Amino acid sequence: MAWPPAPRAGVGYSHGMDEAQQVPQTRQQPSGTRARLTAALKGRAGFIVRWLAERGVKPNHVTLAGLGITLAAVPFIAMGWLWLGGLAFLLGSALDGLDGELARHDDAPPSPFGGVLDSTADRVGEGAAFAALAAHFASFNGWLDGFTDALAGPMTLELGGDLTGASALAAGATVLALVGGNLTSYVRARAEAAGAECPEGLCTRLERVSILGLGLLLHQPVAAIYVLIVLTFATAGQRLWGVRRELG
């Protein structure tokens, strides 16, 4: 998902779906199931990438289109149409994953701005989806109903009433899951800026997007949120420990 020039021997560039910034580094290659899945996805995307390149579509266009589709999922999630929101979220995330492949297919000089735009779009899309899910949990006690009623009639929105214990806990957990996801990306970015090789860990952006998207499609958002909390904070700790061992 970055816009890297051809790397020197032994040096890679951050171009995965999990990066908060793009910096040169020695990158530990994914292995096992994740590597096979990534290879399979790239193989399926080859035709789409060639089709886009032949029509002059640029990586930044794909990045912005993926972000737009992801943001389109927000009202569906907030209003409780979880399967439709999950479908849009997964589609936007998948489209966003094509920009790096398109950049490598393009003969144009690499664009440093593209990597910054891509990472920014990732954070905005994830943050918006989690915010929509928190709003959905809050709506269990009528908060969102009041908002939609206000849109349909006179603007007399009243934010009265308290969240129930379960919905308040779910909304808070959603924020915590978002913090965990951002933390994993931040730890890696800071480690690589310091010249350390950061391990992939248990839960990269690919896993985060898949877990949240499937949780929405299956109408199990609470389960997805708690799984994400455990995996993201475990991944952040795993990465910190790996960097600590390397840097001393």
The residues annotated as belonging to the active site are 122
CB-based contacts of 72, cutoff 8 Å, min separation 6? 88, 92
Q: How far is CA 82 from the centre of its chain?
A: 17
Helix (H) or strand (E) holding 24: strand 24-25
- b/e per residue 217-228 (b: at least 16 CB within 10 A): beeebbebbebb
Map residue 196 onto helix, strand or coil.
coil
Q: Residue 67: is it exposed, middle or buried by C-beta count within 10 angstroms (0-12/13-18/19+)? A: buried
Cα distances (Å, whole numbers) of residue 98 to 37, 45, 69, 171, 175: 15, 7, 14, 31, 28
Contact 62, 52 (CB under 8 A): yes
